[in-house]
Structure 1
Amino acid sequence: MQKSIFTREELYEMIWKEPLSKLAKRLKVSEEGLKQTCVRHKIPRPNRGHWSKIKFGKSVLIPELPNYDSCETISLLEIDMEHLNIDSKRGKFLALQKQIVKEHLKMLKVPKRLINPEKEIKICIENSKDDNYKTREGFYWFGGDKLNIKVTKPHLNRAFCLMDSFLKILKNRGHKIEFRYGDTCAVIYGQYVEIYLREKFERTKTGKDYPMYDFTPCGLFVLAIDKWGGRREYVDGKQNLEEMLPKIIASMEIKAEEERQWKIENEKREKKRKIQEQEYIELERKKEKDLEDFKGLLLSSERWHKAENLRRFIDRMEESFVNRNKVLEDWLEWARKKADWYDPFVEAKDEMMVGVDRESLNRKSEPFNF
């Protein structure tokens, strides 16, 4: 496995063993970042023509490493981020990894045996003695209200040590571990990030007429993060999972923060939408009421004009009769009462018009109650 953390002396020796370009390529960092790291930590570098002289067998002078009061170790993360813009996403990611390495250097050194394990690990250790947690393929599979771990017996100790260090760092950084819907979750900035550690296996087809498979464990570990939403898997390879912990935790924290910010923005958008919806409903209500009031105004105006026409008609009728009699007098009184009843400015009471709508002139019939 390639080392990711070096002492100043180790980096000095590597720089004088091969050209900077080759060393940067081998370490998978930028050449410019390597140069700037040397400047920062007062590490002398070969001058131009140094490697050409060695190629042709000429003698070269290698300066001694000067004393310098700097940090004890130099990480590849530090080298790689020297030339990056710290405000960029990649820069922030590397800066967070560097911070994790700096703050939890001792915890990142995963021990070979458990030392004061977390309570979640203790429960898994106890359950590993029970074969009910063993699958037919030989995996010990914990889950539900226990850590989501699925490995074979020979690798239980490594799994427990890895997860114990992982949990210790998470908790030390202010995060919590909870069990939710059968999953193990790290609660980071209020967001739930699922965690699942399993041993990798090889699948071999055995069925002829219908598909059947044998699963053979191969000893490599896979750590799945946030398995439902944006699943990311980290697999033992050139680096084992123990060395990837800073990258894994940084990735989890960044993802959780992005999700938290998205939810905050989403809540703001939803709040704004509800306010706009309420304003729209209120405006529509006002418009509806305004329209109803206007219709009422028009109807009142029409009624007033009709009432005035009625009065003029009644007056003209009265003028047209030369001889007045009781029948005419009674009719004139009746007609003027009806005009007063209909006039929106008067709306006089009329027993015979009770239950009649002045707008439509329709009468509502009411049942007779004995």
Structure 2
Amino acid sequence: MNNIIKLSRKELYDKVWATPMIKLAKEFNLSDNGLRKICKNFDIPIPPVGYWQKIQYGKKVNQLPLSKKDEEREIKINVDVLKQNYSPEDSIRKLVTEKIRNNSSLILKVNDRLSKPDDIVVKTQSNLENKKMSNSYEKVKGTISTSRGLPSIIVSPKNVSRSLRILDNLIKNFKFLGYQVLLNDEGLKIVAYDDDDDMLVYIREKSNAIDTIDDRGWKSRDLIPNGKLAVKISRFGTSEFVDTDRSTVENQIEKILVKIETEFQEMAEKRRQWKIEREKQEELRLVEEAKQQLKDNELNKFIEFFNDAHRWKKFMILKEYFEYMKSENPKNLEWIQWAEKKLDWYNPAKNEFDSLLDQINRDTLENISKKERRF
């Protein structure tokens, strides 16, 4: 069963430049190549390879304009509703979930106490214990936070132990999955596949806003921790896993790992698609470059042909003049020999070498550089 989506050239153009092709194609249940063909058929420019990567990294980009002609021309796209629910990302998530569940090395349950904690957790625990002894100001009242260069944790003292156990579990699982676990000024970073593909993981205690009145009668709103922990994953956006009435964060380790691994796998797939697209674009560029080279060579050959024809006509005038002078002065042998050599040099059918004229262009009779010499 098919549905038909109707939209104008301008509407499709706006969508193409607002959403990556691979993602937008799903709305129409098309492949990205199928959507590209539609854009090509309706003369709709699409973002070049690397456009969305530049946006992700905050680099300057240029949007190709849509020709004003037939902006409102209607485009009809047939959508097969029987296949509409298929999603490559769902397929990846399913495979990742099976992988996580079948990996016996993973620890999908958080221990009730720290056991042989990771070195990063040991440093974090020491740092938070020192913070307990101070009254440092925090945005959320009654919380403490880790120092820069350590996993970013902001919780109330009663949730420090839980946070450390969750952190230790995640770090160990990250390593089991083959990620690099690094620390920088932003906090805990996990890296997969290459240095450009990473995520930040941090822990926060949720808070509630409460109206308060100080001694002077001034009203204000304070943030107060509410005891619920959240593990947050930051990449280009932020995902979080929060304590709920049905499930604590400790019981969501599998979901956290599936989410992270799925995002890494999706990014790897997108890189693979980008590579294929770049290779296609490079292949097309080389083909176009080869075509242009043939055209340039053909034009150069014709220009040479054209110039030789004009030179031949002048050569015939010179030859006629030579024959006349030879008949008038047959005894002037020195000049006759000299003129014969110059005719052979100028004749486009011979192009004989003349050391005294080696820097002269035969077509224009002007001095030329060594690169332009014709022998």
Find the partner of 1:199 among 192, 202, 205.
205
Partners in 2 of 1:171 and 1:350 — Cα distance?
76
Find the partner of 1:182 among 180, 183, 186.
186
Matched with 2:126 is: 126
The correspondence of residues 15-34 of structure 1 with structure 2, limited to 5 A, is none
The answer (yes or no) to whether the contact 2:109–2:253 under 8 Å persists in 1 is no
Matched with 2:279 is: 271
The answer (yes or no) to whether the contact 2:203–2:229 under 8 Å persists in 1 is yes
Three-state SS of the structure 1 residue aligned to 2:313 is helix
Partners in 1 of 2:347 and 2:125 — Cα distance?
93
The TM-score, its normalising length taken from structure 2, stands at 0.60
After superposition, what is the alpha-carbon deviation per residue over 1:223-275, rounded to whole angstroms, capped at 9, x for unaligned? Answer: 111x2413212221132111111112112111111111111221232234334
Matched with 2:238 is: 231
The correspondence of residues 97-246 of structure 1 with structure 2, limited to 5 A, is 97=97, 100-101=100-101, 103=103, 107-131=107-131, 134-136=136-138, 137-142=141-146, 144-180=148-184, 182-190=186-194, 191-203=197-209, 214-225=222-233, 227-238=234-245, 239-246=247-254
Residues 87/308 of structure 1: CA separation in 2 closer, same or farther (3 Å cut): closer
Partners in 2 of 1:99 and 1:310 — Cα distance?
88
The answer (yes or no) to whether the contact 1:135–1:141 under 8 Å persists in 2 is no
Partners in 2 of 1:88 and 1:357 — Cα distance?
65
Residues 199/281 of structure 1: CA separation in 2 closer, same or farther (3 Å cut): same
Aligned letter for 2:224?
A: T
Matched with 1:360 is: 364
After superposition, what is the alpha-carbon deviation per residue over 1:259-301, rounded to whole angstroms, capped at 9, x for unaligned? Answer: 1111122123223433443443354344324422331232223
The correspondence of residues 324-343 of structure 1 with structure 2, limited to 5 A, is 336-343=340-347
Partners in 2 of 1:170 and 1:349 — Cα distance?
78
The answer (yes or no) to whether the contact 1:184–1:195 under 8 Å persists in 2 is yes
Residue 266 of structure 2 corresponds to residue 258 of structure 1 = yes
The answer (yes or no) to whether the contact 1:307–1:340 under 8 Å persists in 2 is no
Partners in 1 of 2:269 and 2:326 — Cα distance?
84
The correspondence of residues 300-315 of structure 1 with structure 2, limited to 5 A, is 300-315=308-323
Matched with 2:352 is: 347
Three-state SS of the structure 2 residue aligned to 1:108 is coil
Aligned letter for 1:118?
A: D
Alpha-carbon offset, residue 159 of structure 1: 0.6
Aligned letter for 1:339?
A: L
Query: RMSD between aligned alpha carbons?
Result: 3.9
The answer (yes or no) to whether the contact 1:86–1:95 under 8 Å persists in 2 is no
The correspondence of residues 33-72 of structure 1 with structure 2, limited to 5 A, is none
Alpha-carbon offset, residue 175 of structure 1: 3.2
Matched with 2:255 is: 247
The answer (yes or no) to whether the contact 2:89–2:266 under 8 Å persists in 1 is no
Three-state SS of the structure 1 residue aligned to 2:175 is helix
Three-state SS of the structure 2 residue aligned to 1:267 is helix
Aligned letter for 1:347?
A: E
Matched with 1:292 is: 300
Partners in 2 of 1:310 and 1:173 — Cα distance?
86
Aligned letter for 2:202?
A: Y
Residues 355/246 of structure 1: CA separation in 2 closer, same or farther (3 Å cut): closer
Alpha-carbon offset, residue 348 of structure 1: 5.4
Alpha-carbon offset, residue 122 of structure 1: 0.6
Q: Which runs of 5+ in 1 are unaligned?
A: 1-84, 366-370
Partners in 2 of 1:355 and 1:95 — Cα distance?
73
After superposition, what is the alpha-carbon deviation per residue over 1:125-183, rounded to whole angstroms, capped at 9, x for unaligned? Answer: 11113338954334322264321222121210111112222222333333332235624
Alpha-carbon offset, residue 92 of structure 1: 6.2
Partners in 2 of 1:277 and 1:165 — Cα distance?
50
Residues 248/336 of structure 1: CA separation in 2 closer, same or farther (3 Å cut): same
The answer (yes or no) to whether the contact 2:105–2:176 under 8 Å persists in 1 is no
Three-state SS of the structure 2 residue aligned to 1:128 is helix
Partners in 2 of 1:314 and 1:206 — Cα distance?
114
Aligned letter for 2:149?
A: D
Partners in 2 of 1:234 and 1:224 — Cα distance?
6
If you compute each CA radius of gyration, which structure gives the higher value, 1 or 2?
1
Partners in 1 of 2:257 and 2:342 — Cα distance?
88
Partners in 2 of 1:151 and 1:87 — Cα distance?
38
The answer (yes or no) to whether the contact 1:143–1:184 under 8 Å persists in 2 is no
Identity of aligned residues (%): 22
Partners in 1 of 2:120 and 2:191 — Cα distance?
15
Equivalenced residues, count: 272
After superposition, what is the alpha-carbon deviation per residue over 1:293-326, rounded to whole angstroms, capped at 9, x for unaligned? Answer: 331232223323321332124324655x5xx587
After superposition, what is the alpha-carbon deviation per residue over 1:58-90, rounded to whole angstroms, capped at 9, x for unaligned? Answer: xxxxxxxxxxxxxxxxxxxxxxxxxxx999855
The TM-score, its normalising length taken from structure 1, stands at 0.60
The answer (yes or no) to whether the contact 2:180–2:191 under 8 Å persists in 1 is yes
Q: Which runs of 5+ in 2 are unaligned?
A: 1-84, 214-218, 370-375
